[in-house]
Structure 1
Amino acid sequence: MWKPDRHSRQPLYEQIADHIEQRIAYGEFPPGSLLPSERKLAAELGVNRSTVIMAFDELRATGIVERRTGSGTRVSTTKWEIAPKHTPNWKRYAQGGQFLPNLPFMRKIREALTRDPSLIDFASGELAADLAPINEIAALMSEHRYTSYLGYDNPQGYIPLRQALVSYLAEHRNIRATEASILVTSGSQQSLYLITQCLLSPGDAVAIEDPSYCYSLPMFQSAGLRLFRLPVDPYGVHPEDVRALYKKHRIKMVFTNPNFHNPTGTVLAAERRKQLLEAASELALPIVEDDPFSLTAYEGTPPSPLKSMDEIGSVLYIGSFSKIAASGLRIGWMVAPREIAERLADARQQMDFGLSVIPQQVAAQFLSSSYFAPHLKRLRMQLLFKRDLLVEALNKELPDLIRFAVPSGGLHLWCKLVPEIHDGRLLEEGIRRGVVFVPGSVYGSDSGFVRFTFARARTEDIPAGVAKFAEALRAAIGG
């Protein structure tokens, strides 16, 4: 983000005026569009509001912008020799289309982190830099040449990566697959997007867990799907609820995250897994299994995926590098019947002609290398340490105001707040004090729940972040 140069001889207000004029000239702010408010722009640029007022006065003096009482400062419609009737209504376009924007809370969190990167981040669902295999990947990239071919690759994914995934899935997840049954994607969200857009139709009914990460993805509503809830208890979903929803609403697909569920951290009980697959078989109902967290199991053997028990091909299995290695590689995968993999590969080719081959080459080498197993071991130890640090801090700061079950894997801690708290006010108080988290209502829950992600925050910041959250919670209660 651009900032004025405080060491320049040019006054700050002139720098700001020049910068805004440039953005207008480049078409970022078309004629007639509303500029950010003086207060918001001052906060973004780290200057006094009076400095922004002077910048706007400078632009008004040259006719570049005009101020209308009650409607803010807008770009002039006549200065650029463009008649207002010929100017597209970009606001209407931005608010149109079928693809919905992110939820307001998620946009607010993202804007807060962009505005102030020093915020302690309990919201972002990704690994911190100290948990990623940065040195290992750097070593692989120095050992191997990745630029032998830079054209479009196979739309279903780089073949050596799919071959490496066949071995990985067999060894680590007890899933039998072939390279023809694997589609490489940019991550779990692209896999879900392709499924909702290509395998379902507007008006179709689907079942998702409650609470569920799926609720935070407007792509389901954008696809025109009708969502029905499967309540999650400490042992996961009840398979009988699937039968009931099918009988009442003729659901066409079930979306589930059975291992270290996001956001609750629960693991679907073994008996319920068997019953869920039986229900799917009886109803000829596809199950989409999102399994990004299994290999983060802190102790013992990771829980088996549903796909490893799937004898008739009911399960579409989704995995990702993001939660076990590095989200920046943008590598995910789906195991599906061959005709489904080919159908979705064709759709994805229409979007981007396939993923960049270089990250796929890196991922293939990493999966097959001697670095992978030690990295997983180190990752589990560090996540366990961060989890325990978070739990200790919450018990210390909020012994009577918060309740939670300690997860045995994953990146998240799902907390129930004892008092009734308005989500929006609590988040505002948290941001004001320097900490962000995700309110539970983002995942379909009622107010009074919070998801803490402990993988993103630095270890040394976790106690301080919990202390800031405790201050925010008490302020919200007092308010």
Structure 2
Amino acid sequence: MEWKVDRDADKPLYQQIFEYIEEKISYGEYPPETLLPSERKLAQQLNVNRMTIAHVYDELQASGLVERKKGSGTRVSSHKWGILPKGVTNWRKYIEGGSFIPSYPLIRRIRGEAKVMENGFNLASGKLSSDLFPSEYLQSVLSEHTFPSDLGYEHPQGLLSLRETIASYVKTYYNINTTSSSVLITSGAQQALHLITQCLLNPGDAVAIEAPSYCYSLPLFQSAGLRIFGLPVDANGINPDDIVTLYAKHKIRMIFLNPTYHSPTGAILSDARRKKVLDIAAELGIPIVEDDPVSLISFDNEQYAPIKSYDRSGNVLYVGSLSKVIGSSLRIGWLIGPQSVINRLADAREQIDFGLSVFPQMIANLLLQSPEYPKHLVFLRQELLERRNEMIDALRDILGEKVEFTIPKGGLFIWCKIKKKVDDQKLVEEGIKHKILFMPGSVYGAPNGYVRLTFAHLKKESIREAVKRLAIVLDHI
């Protein structure tokens, strides 16, 4: 919540909060039947005593502005009291309708707590911690350049100079051959996935994704009306023969893979399997979408060639991003594929937003061209390696036989199995109670009892304390 109480004001806190909610209702920002936060949650968001919120809600109810029912929470009144206009749109029906499905409730719960949690530990976020952001490096790069005076609309595919740089970048780091005309700049990797599902597939189409998979947490697949089928993941990634089986049963039309440091398991698709996947997909005429956000974050100096690097027929759509190597707020990703596909997606994106802002594209271009960028990658790998090792040691020392996990060779996460039987909903709630967040495996399509723990979002000195907190949570469920 952006609004804060003014503790220096003469007006009592409960009155400030009452007037704030009253204003929201009168402005129509909280329409009739809007569910207000629970007393505990609002108290936490505003950093006030829960009894203060209870007093506020009592006053709102006495004023006829809200209705309170045990077990149903506190909702804005559906009655037409003087403060409400006579004709009021029932926004609830619209919110619950629409074709784009909201995030899963458990994910919304975790993200909501992440925004208000103080003095806690966030092992759920996929973001890098602030001390890993190259702020000094960025400042030095920006100080040497000026921005253009012409701020008109850019090319639908994105800033040409950045597309040229990315074409060179993927050749240098991934051995992918492409040209600027086959690159589409996107607002992060998820926009690329959204464009693919909306523009290249139809409702009812069957697609294959890894199981478990980060894709299960993205409602964009269900919103597009797609039928999702899983490809089980083992230590070496998916079994390519499973693609043939799925195709025979469901006539899948596209394959979505995250082959290097797979989220959430950390698995690496073996080189032999990568080539076999490519051959099978080509034989069946099924395109592959390769999501590759973290393959540069390697802890063993091993570089795994993307599937796209073997592609000579344009069968792979390659999705990359700077979110995991520079920072997620930069919002720069890219999609590489056949020019006809790129043109189609660029046209769709232009209809939505007329293209990305030129400023983050210019910044990304300057960063990638700077001789300091390779040094930043070396720094990032070393820092994340130390944090991974710290979390491994803490899990072994503190949780011991209570959990099992595979040591990731790169990336940002550790995939952890809790040995005793747990319910993910209760596990998350107990974590929130003890101010520690993590992503349960069920949001990725895994059974209850798995958690994805991020070691990149916390500073190294906080990781052991976070694992201690996790141990307390496991003792209480």
- 1:338 counterpart residue number: 339
Does residue 465 in structure 1 map to residue 466 in structure 2?
A: yes
Q: Deviations over 1:212-231 (max 9, x none)?
A: 00001011011000011100
Q: Secondary structure in 2 aligned to 1:295?
A: coil
CA distance in 2, matches of 1:386, 1:342: 41
Distance apart, 1:147 and its partner CA:
3.9
Distance apart, 1:81 and its partner CA:
5.7
CA distance in 1, matches of 2:61, 2:258: 55
Opposite residue 368 of structure 2, the aligned amino acid is: L
Q: Deviations over 1:139-177 (max 9, x none)?
A: 111111124322211110100000100110111110000
CA distance in 2, matches of 1:306, 1:146: 37
Matched positions, count: 473
Question: In 2 relative to 1, CA 134–67 (structure 1 residues): closer, same or farther, beyond 3 Å?
Answer: same
- 1:79 counterpart residue number: 82
Q: Is the 8 A contact 1:291 1:319 kept in 2?
A: yes
- 1:288 counterpart residue number: 289
- 1:65 counterpart residue number: 65
- Between 1:96-105 and 1:19-28, the stretch displaced more is 19-28
CA distance in 2, matches of 1:34, 1:57: 15
CA distance in 2, matches of 1:209, 1:242: 11
- 2:5 counterpart residue number: 4
Question: In 2 relative to 1, CA 211–35 (structure 1 residues): closer, same or farther, beyond 3 Å?
Answer: closer
- 1:106 counterpart residue number: 107
Q: Is the 8 A contact 1:119 1:431 kept in 2?
A: no
Question: In 2 relative to 1, CA 354–417 (structure 1 residues): closer, same or farther, beyond 3 Å?
Answer: same
Q: Is the 8 A contact 2:216 2:443 kept in 1?
A: yes
Q: Is the 8 A contact 2:32 2:75 kept in 1?
A: no
TM-score, length basis structure 1: 0.95
Q: Secondary structure in 2 aligned to 1:351?
A: helix
- 1:383 counterpart residue number: 384
CA distance in 2, matches of 1:400, 1:289: 36
Distance apart, 1:50 and its partner CA:
3.5
- 1:452 counterpart residue number: 453
Q: Is the 8 A contact 2:25 2:76 kept in 1?
A: no
Q: Is the 8 A contact 2:188 2:333 kept in 1?
A: yes
Q: Is the 8 A contact 2:212 2:264 kept in 1?
A: yes
Q: Deviations over 1:75-117 (max 9, x none)?
A: 452313622xx31111111111111111112111111111214
Q: Secondary structure in 2 aligned to 1:396?
A: helix
Distance apart, 1:36 and its partner CA:
3.7
Note the 1:28-43 alignment, pairs <5 A. 28-31=29-32, 33-43=34-44
CA distance in 2, matches of 1:163, 1:120: 40
CA distance in 2, matches of 1:125, 1:366: 21
- 1:404 counterpart residue number: 405
- 2:366 counterpart residue number: 365
Q: Deviations over 1:197-219 (max 9, x none)?
A: 00000000000000100001011
Q: Secondary structure in 1 aligned to 2:417?
A: strand
Question: In 2 relative to 1, CA 283–57 (structure 1 residues): closer, same or farther, beyond 3 Å?
Answer: closer
- 1:127 counterpart residue number: 128
Q: Is the 8 A contact 1:113 1:119 kept in 2?
A: no
- 1:142 counterpart residue number: 143
- 1:311 counterpart residue number: 312
Distance apart, 1:420 and its partner CA:
1.3
Q: Is the 8 A contact 1:306 1:315 kept in 2?
A: yes
- 1:254 counterpart residue number: 255
Q: Is the 8 A contact 2:208 2:256 kept in 1?
A: yes
Distance apart, 1:314 and its partner CA:
1.0
CA distance in 2, matches of 1:384, 1:66: 52
Question: In 2 relative to 1, CA 31–427 (structure 1 residues): closer, same or farther, beyond 3 Å?
Answer: closer
Cα RMSD (Å): 1.7
CA distance in 2, matches of 1:385, 1:68: 51
Runs (5+) with no aligned partner, structure 1: none
Q: Is the 8 A contact 2:31 2:90 kept in 1?
A: no
Opposite residue 328 of structure 2, the aligned amino acid is: S
Q: Deviations over 1:414-449 (max 9, x none)?
A: 111111111111111112112110001111000111
Q: Deviations over 1:52-91 (max 9, x none)?
A: 3443455566x461546656453452313622xx311111
- Between 1:454-463 and 1:145-154, the stretch displaced more is 145-154
Q: Secondary structure in 2 aligned to 1:296?
A: coil
CA distance in 2, matches of 1:8, 1:325: 41
Question: In 2 relative to 1, CA 434–73 (structure 1 residues): closer, same or farther, beyond 3 Å?
Answer: closer
Q: Is the 8 A contact 2:65 2:81 kept in 1?
A: no
CA distance in 1, matches of 2:387, 2:55: 48
Q: Deviations over 1:378-422 (max 9, x none)?
A: 000001000000000000011111111101111011111111111
- 1:44 counterpart residue number: 45
CA distance in 2, matches of 1:291, 1:403: 26
Q: Secondary structure in 2 aligned to 1:208?
A: strand
Q: Is the 8 A contact 1:182 1:334 kept in 2?
A: yes
Q: Deviations over 1:216-264 (max 9, x none)?
A: 1011011000011100000011110001111111100000011111111
- Between 1:230-239 and 1:104-113, the stretch displaced more is 104-113
